[in-house]
Amino acid sequence: MDIDISTWHGAAAARASQALQNGRLGHAQLLCGVPGIGKRVFVRWLARLLLCQQPRLAEQPAPCGECKACRLSDAGTHPDFMALAPEAPAKSIGVDAVRAFNAQLALTAQLSGNRVGIVDPADAMTTNAANGLLKSLEEPPPGTYLILVSDFPARLLPTVRSRCQLIELHRPPASAALAWLAPQVGDEQAKHWLSVARGAPLKALELADEEQRAFRDGLFESFDAVLSHSADPVRAAGRYARAPLASLLSCVDSWTTDLIRLTAAGPGAPMSNTDLRSALSRYGGKLDLQGLFRYLDRVRDSAASPVALNTQLVVEELFISASRLGSTAER
Ligand SMILES: [Zn+2]
């Protein structure tokens, strides 16, 4: 189902198109925001707008959708569109890939108009790769826009960040998110998963998927067992050696955040994981708040790691730390 940029990210879209109209849109952009809010949809929209031969830039900016450039963009075959990404998910972008990308950027435009190069996720670049991109960021070839996309902009080199204009996307309004999500998963489910996903609609849709739900349920069982000392953390972690680490960390992050709320504000605290309220409430007041904050930092450090991590080691370490959170909850 299509995402409506004008209701999801209307303010960011208007700012970008106005800057383009006034000739103030920087040739190096950094697009950031939390996962699951549509950064990739926005960057594709912005690329189409930049490439379009007759874009509407005033009210409700949009690419025309009809010119040759728009048709080529839609087909994914626009010759002046370039993308740099890791060869596989969770892998890094190396210096050779950046060199090849720079060479591509240096070619002249095939169609009369702008050229667009996207680096996504930009935080996957190694230090050498990022250094290799600096010159292109500083002086992109004429008519070329470089857009870096990142969930974790703090992981980028300061020299990379400082050369880019920042586009920060926020969670879309809840009404727009629900209007998009409800037809796909139903009203009740939409509300529930949007809450679990803390307002990130694409993340909510991912969580509502049957396979994801089974994964989350199983993971919670292990997490709960480790917290309450009824399972050995290392043995429990063994089940997750091949698990999708980003999804796993996002679940543990969300549960830990709820445990912090319960510990700090008591049983009536507002929670994201409303389906786990009774299970998580068993720990209310039994865990050390400082320890929980330190634990959450650790989860987030792993999620933001610029290098691919060994899933089994990460989960072992997280489960061992969870078992030390000082729980005395009864099973
Ligand atoms: Zn067009």
Q: Determine, yes or no, domain membership for 65.
A: yes
Calpha distance 296→249 (Å, rounded): 10
**163 and 250 share a domain?**
no
Q: Residue 114 Cα, ligand 1 centroid: separation in angstroms?
A: 12
Q: How many whole angstroms from 49 Cα to the centroid of ligand 1?
A: 7
CA of 111 to the centre of ligand 1 (A): 12
Ligand 1 center to 16 CA (angstroms): 17
Cβ pair 137, 28 in contact under 8 A: yes
Question: Quick one: pLDDT at residue 331?
Answer: 42
pTM: 0.87
Is residue 147 located within the same domain as residue 61?
Answer: yes
Among residues 118, 151, 168, the one where a domain terminates is: 168
pLDDT attached to residue 91? 85
Question: Does some domain include residue 274?
Answer: yes
CATH classification at residue 263? 1.20.272
Same structural domain, 153 and 223 = no
Per-residue pLDDT tens over the stretch 52-78: 999 998 888 999 999 999 999 999 999
Query: 44 CA distance to ligand 1 centroid (A)?
Result: 13
- What is the pLDDT at residue 330? 45
What's the 241 CA to ligand 1 centre distance in angstroms? Answer: 47
One domain, residues 139 and 218: no
Q: In what order do the strands lie in the sheet with 144-150?
A: 81-84, 115-119, 144-150, 28-32, 165-168
Within this chain, do residues 152 and 239 fall inside the same structural domain, yes or no? no
Please give the pLDDT value at position 109.
87
Kindly report the CATH number assigned to the domain that includes residue 77.
3.40.50.300
Q: How far is the CA of 86 from the centre of ligand 1 (A)?
A: 29
Domain span holding position 295: 209-323
Residue listed under structure tokens 């680096």? 119
Q: Is position 51 within any domain? A: yes
Task: Report how far ligand 1's centroid is from the alpha carbon of 132 (Å).
Answer: 32
Same domain? 285 vs 215: yes
Ligand 1 center–CA 55 separation, angstroms: 6
CA of 71 to the centre of ligand 1 (A): 7
Q: How confident is the model at residue 239, as a pLDDT?
A: 94
Determine the distance separating the centroid of ligand 1 and the alpha carbon of 122, expressed in angstroms. 27
Cα 56 to averaged position of ligand 1 atoms, centre (Å): 9
| 168 CA distance to ligand 1 middle (Å) | 25
Would you state the pLDDT for residue 165?
96
Per-residue burial over 134-149, b = 16 or more CB atoms within 10 Å of its CB, e = otherwise: eebbeebbeebbbbbb
* 51 C-alpha to ligand 1 centroid (Å): 7
Question: Which positions ≥6 away from 211 have C-beta within 8 Å?
Answer: none
Task: Compute the distance from residue 20 Cα to the ligand 1 centre, in Å.
Answer: 15
CA distances from 102 to 93, 140, 166, 169 (A): 13, 9, 21, 27
At residue 306, the pLDDT reads 64
Number of domains the chain contains: 2
Q: Give a yes or no: residue 178 inside a domain.
A: no
User: Is 193 a domain residue?
Assistant: no
Identify the segments of the chain with pLDDT beneath 50. 329-331
How many angstroms is it from 138 CA to the middle of ligand 1?
28
Give per-residue pLDDT as tens, 78-103: 999 999 999 987 788 999 999 999 99
